[in-house]
Chains A and B, each alone.
Chain A
Amino acid sequence: MSYKIPMGPYHPALEEPYKLDMICDGETVSDAKLHIGFNFRGIEHLAETRNYIQVIALMERVCGICSNIHTLTLCQAMEKLTGIEPPLRALYIRVVMAELERLHSHVLWAGIAAKLMGFKTMFMTCFALREKVMDVLQAISGNRVNYSMNRIGGVNRDIEDPLALLSMVEELEREMVHTIIPIFTTSTTATLRCAGIGILTNEKAISCGVVGPTARASGVPQDLRRAAPYAAYSEMEFDVPVEKAGDVRARLLVRALEIMQSCRILRQALTKMPSGEFNTGDGKIVFSTGTATSRVEAPRGEVVYSVSWKENSRNPARVHVRTPTFQNMPAIRWMVIGARLADTPLIQASIDPCYSCTDR
């Protein structure tokens, strides 16, 4: 006999409000439905009532975890519409911010995953390490969450002494290599808990159109930093880790390897940072009529912004956002079918969902 187990929307195991209805046969999940929309704040509509400076502050608050990525994408789109080119140093600073954000987001995810595995010690270790990443972010931007670094034509704050940050980054890397990565890759607790559950096959991954680490863990080698480089990524050397298994462990490994690659990019960006201006423009910003799109590889996958503007207007005509969770969410259904009920929280967390981005 099958029965339905509703979970949420305000459930202690969930960070954010959403609702998961699971149809179960005994202990096995036979189908799942996901309801979202509890976080809907109407941001896209609000953006049409804000001018080009306010809209950056507004879009930064789409998501508190990847706040920098949202402003970066928006500013890139607005730069296309205004024809302003940011200077090279600004592009490097954008890379540094984006990679630090990826680091803190992946470590945060590792912490939440560890908590869901019932591995509380690891949760605390991850968060203690994340504080070190936050220190670097705070040293650069002065803020811990909403950094407000990007603006049209560059960044708001300079990294005055990039080489001084290098030692902080090296220390981070050492800690990652010595604590987090071995535990997740070799510890039996993590391996036994994650291997073979929540499998998303390569064909399903392609047909669902998943993005980011979820896709890379199912053997789809896509990464916008490589495929369509933005900011200064074309000058960085890095690998795109890909795993074939498609289970939760593969997603864990992909993220662990990405942490290493992020450290590598950070080191390059900080050592190679060119001198010069970090923003352009004398404050005179003229928009042309049209629509510009911009794509960026966020920690969770590809973010797309499409911004429309009318000439002589201070406000955008339309700001449309497509977030990675929107793409990855339908895949949860294929992952949980056939899984044990107790595994579903871990499986749905393995795509690193962010519903506040998705609902906006």
Chain B
Amino acid sequence: MNLWSRLMCSCRRRSPWIFHMNSGSCNGCDIELVASLTPRYDAEQLGVRLEGSPRHADILCITGPVTRNSVHAIETVYGQVCSPKAVVAIGSCPATTNVFIDSRVLDGPLNRHIPVDVFVPGCPPRPDAILQGIAKAAEILAERGSRPLVNEENQQ
């Protein structure tokens, strides 16, 4: 690994920018994600920043049980995040569709549509758990970024 890619690797691990997307969640997880950015939990100490555009983000955080209405948007947004990227599914909803299981308007769970790297279970998970999930995704991101580009393209 040359110096440049080592630097990139460390940057990705230490300063992941996240984009938050709500795919029909009950707001519980969204509020906890916002809470994890605020002074008590302070995600910025890990270099985490909430970004307004998926094109600027490294990590995609998805909450909610994936309604039919949002499937297309999820795929589009996933495509807009630049590689290397990681996906964190926050809450039990994207993992299993939670209490909404059997609903006909849902098209979950999330990993049927896009590959998910980290699941943070809980309804809703505590902000500390969300932070841990993001930190884990940052490690995955750094590792993914250090692989040569060819491999990554083959993999996709």
The number of A-B residue pairs with CB atoms under 8 Å apart is: 115
Decide if B114 is an interface residue (CB 8 Å cutoff).
no
Given known A64-B124, A124-B38, contact A356–B26 (CB-CB < 8 A): yes
0/1 interface trace, chain A 10-47, chain B, CB 8 Å (1 if under): 10110111000000000000000000011111110110
Contact A65 B67 (CB under 8 A): no
Q: Does B65 contact A (CB under 8 A)?
A: yes
Residue-wise interface mask of B (11-51) relative to A, using a CB-CB cutoff of 8 A (1 in contact, 0 not): 00000000001101111111110110011100000000001
| Nearest neighbor of A46 in chain B, beta-carbon distance | B103
The complex places the Cα of A62 from the Cα of B35 at a distance, in Å, of: 20
A13 to B99, CA, bound (A): 28
Smallest beta-carbon distance B48→chain A, Å:
15
Which residues in window 73-124 of A have CB below 8 A to B? 108, 123-124
Query: Complex formed: what's the CA distance from A15 to B27 in Å?
Result: 8
Tally of contact residues, B, Cβ under 8 A: 37
Contact between chains at A127 and B105 (CB < 8 Å):
no
Q: Is the CB of B28 within 8 A of A16?
A: no
Q: How far is the CA of A5 from the CA of B27 in the complex (A)?
A: 26
Within 8 A of B (CB), among A40-81: 40-43, 45-46, 49, 54, 57-58, 61-65, 67
Max chain B C-beta neighbours (<10 A), residue from A16, A64, A354: A64
- Using known A-B contacts A64-B29, A146-B124, determine if residue A39 contacts B24 with beta carbons closer than 8 Å: yes
Q: Enumerate chain A residues within 8 angstroms of B103, measured Cβ to Cβ.
A: 41-43, 45-46
Contact call B30/A16, Cβ cutoff below 8 A: yes
- Is there an interface contact between A64 and B105, defined as CB atoms closer than 8 Å? no
The 8 Å CB contact of A10, one of B21, B38, B65, is: B21
> Smallest CB–CB gap between B21 and chain A, Å?
6
Q: Tell me, yes or no, whether A131 is within 8 Å of chain B by CB.
A: yes
Partner of B126, one of A63, A144, A359: A144
User: At the interface, yes or no: A292 with Cβ under 8 Å from chain B?
Assistant: no
A sample of 23 inter-chain contacts (CB < 8 A) reads A13-B52, A15-B27, A15-B30, A17-B22, A17-B24, A37-B69, A38-B67, A40-B24, A42-B105, A42-B106, A43-B100, A61-B26, A64-B28, A64-B29, A64-B124, A65-B28, A127-B40, A131-B39, A131-B40, A144-B124, A145-B31, A146-B123, A356-B24
